[in-house]
Structure 1
Amino acid sequence: MARAEGRLVGGRYQLMEPIGRGGMGVVWRAHDRLLDRAVAVKEVRYDSAMGDELSDLNRRTMREARAAGRLTHPNVVVVHDVIEEDERPWIIMQLVQSRSLGQVIREDGPLSPERTIEIGLQILDALRAAHRQGVLHRDVKPENVLLTDDGRVVLTDFGIARLEADSTMTRTGLVGTPAFIAPERLRGEAARRESDLWSLGATLYTAAEGRPPHDRGMAMATMHAVLNEDPAPAARAGRLGPVLMRMLAKEPADRPGYDELARLLKQALREAALPTTKPLPVAPAEVARPSAGRQPYASPGEPPSTGSRAGSPPRPAAPSRDAAGAGAAGAGGAA
């Protein structure tokens, strides 16, 4: 791969350095010499042993990437250009200064429920826009969710995820990353909009809990769990937990659609922002009027004062309503 550095793709895009690698190819930082801008170039590499299937996959990759190029949405990485060179597709995309959600989880740990919901709402909006144009993602997972330096959330790999999944299915019987594949797809059914929403649920579960909902460490065991087992309750997700369980329903018809899901996520976000209810402080019992020469305790652990002069009248105890007022003020502060 090092030999490709400095290469000019399509007579226009000069490869600078690899910035990402996967089972299907390499993502390069590149320079668009025509428009003098930085771009990302995905070099799609299928297994040459696929023989006659290879040219068909290349054609479908080009077609899907062009379809993705028609998507215009703030939460979708822009596809600028698609080139076929050296019998392989090269997909030129917007270069996003970011870390993937997967990288953030590995480096910083699980996210708060509030941040997880904010990410979910933006990705849901991106998926809704794509589905309206007939484009399914088919590979929603933490590594394909980018958190930008300026605070945006961007979904990447639209248009090529489908073909990568088809290729993987042809060679190994798998279709992408097992922990993020909807049950119906593992059963051999066609991908659908609800499949992307299931994968979004698995992605948000991973963000909140720090691990995928069905991961068992090995592909076959994970797929068996996706098909047959309920995920463990989301212990860290707070009010988001019940929403995640609905998103991860085994049957597509049992999952919430776009509008209901958006409403549930926004409701969970509002409830997560409410202050935690704390018990009200207990008002002290009414203090009996002290006898001459004695003072009441100022606090439960404080010794009595002996500073009164002999024969001086005792200082009157504070009225009980002041203690109640202090308790109310404390309750107001806690709330």
Structure 2
Amino acid sequence: MIPSRLIGGRYVVLDGLGRGLLGQVWRAEDRLTGRLLAVQELHVPGMTPAEHAQFRERLLREARRIGALADPGLLAVHDVLSDCGIDHVVTELVVGTRLSEHVASGGPLAAHDAADLARALLRTLRAAHQRQLVHGAVRPGAVVLGDDGRIALADVGLARAAEEAGVPVHEQLGPHDVVAPERAAGGPATAAADMWGLGATLAYAGATEEPLSSLVAALRTEDPAARPTADEALAMLGRNGSSRGGTSGRPWRRIWERLRP
């Protein structure tokens, strides 16, 4: 714990939450409002001053898009600031665990849980893509499984903002963070690349039974134009209802209740 550290003269660091896409993530308290938030350091080395200014502007653009969407499946961005020469992004805090950590410690999800998870993520990506908001780094480590039943995507827009400023973020992704082949070749973040990332994420989560296994195969098609959109993927799974009889409300709440000790 580093309780004496203050970021931007406002956010008091309480403890670490792990690593995000571009750097360490801290749990912090907003001295102005008393709210608990997540603050991520954004380490994007090698940028010129002009590229850095471009990165901040594009990051603010993505933050505005997330705010306008107001989707519970996306972590709301509260602030973008610089402290000691390092940019930081402040988002809402969802108490829970990352999908990558959950599977690493507890093994793959059951088929019906993986299907519920897929539907929740697909609905969020559908809403984002309809507003031309691209995640850019969909992966197991970006999926937050909230203790309150919420499923949310972290790091939205960070990869796109950084790469548009010349920083190849896809080269920094971890061992489970499989990227689309066109992204690995240096291509831009797109909705189709998000769908590949979702396919890799679901495969990691344990999507080995039908119809989810067929969807994963379709999402990981080599040709980006041949991959299903989020809307088409939902139709492949059955738009309404889960394999356990419905996905209304908070699907992870049901998964969490089945898996908790």
Residue identity matched to 1:174: E
- Tell me if 1:262 matches 2:260: no
Structure 1 residue 175 displacement after superposition: 6.3
Local SS of the residue matching 2:116: helix
Match of 1:174? Answer: 171
The 8 Å contact of residues 168 and 174 in structure 1, kept in 2 or not, is answered as: no
Structure 2 residue matching 1:256: 3-state secondary structure: coil
Partner of 2:187: helix, strand, or coil?
coil
Cα–Cα, structure 1 residues 106 and 36, in superposed 2: closer, same or farther, change >3 Å?
same
Q: Equivalent residues in 2 for 1:62-101 (5 A)?
A: 62-101=60-99
Cα displacement string for residues 95-117 of structure 1 (whole angstroms, at most 9, x for unaligned residues): 11110000010000001111111
Indicate the residue corresponding to 2:225 in structure 1. Answer: 253
Distance in 1 between residues matched to 2:95 and 2:185, nearest whole Å: 37
* 1:92 CA drift (Å): 1.2
Q: Indicate which of 204, 209, 212 corresponds to 1:240.
A: 212
Aligned residues of 1:68 and 1:79 also touching (Cα < 8 A):
yes
Q: Does 1:26 align with 2:24?
A: yes
Matched with 1:197 is: 195
SS in 1 for 2:81: strand
Q: CA deviation at 1:267?
A: 7.3
State the shift of 1:162 in Å.
1.9
2:127 equivalent among 116, 126, 129: 129
Please show how residues 252-291 of structure 1 align to structure 2 within 5 Å.
252-266=224-238, 272-273=243-244
- The answer (yes or no) to whether the contact 1:116–1:204 under 8 Å persists in 2 is yes
CA–CA distance in structure 1, aligned partners of residues 239 and 28 of structure 2: 42
- The answer to whether the Cα contact below 8 Å between 1:117 and 1:269 also exists between their aligned partners in 2 is no
Q: Whose RCO is larger (CA < 8 A, sep 6+)?
A: 2
1:43 counterpart SS class: strand
Q: Normalized against structure 2, the TM-score is what?
A: 0.81
Q: Corresponding residue for 2:108?
A: 110
SS at match of 1:90: strand
Question: Alignment identity in percent?
Answer: 35
Match of 1:45 in 2: 43
Distance 1:203 1:29, change over 3 A: same
TM-score (norm 1): 0.64
| Cα 1:24/1:189, change in 2 over 3 Å | closer
Mapping 1:183-222, distance limit 5 Å: 183-208=181-206
- After superposing the two structures, state which structure 1 stretch, 161-170 or 80-89, moved more: 161-170
Distance 1:19 1:246, change over 3 A: same
- AA at the equivalent of 1:107: S
* Structure 2 unaligned regions, length at least 5: 246-261
Residue 159 (structure 1) aligns with:
157
Match for 2:171: what amino acid?
Answer: L
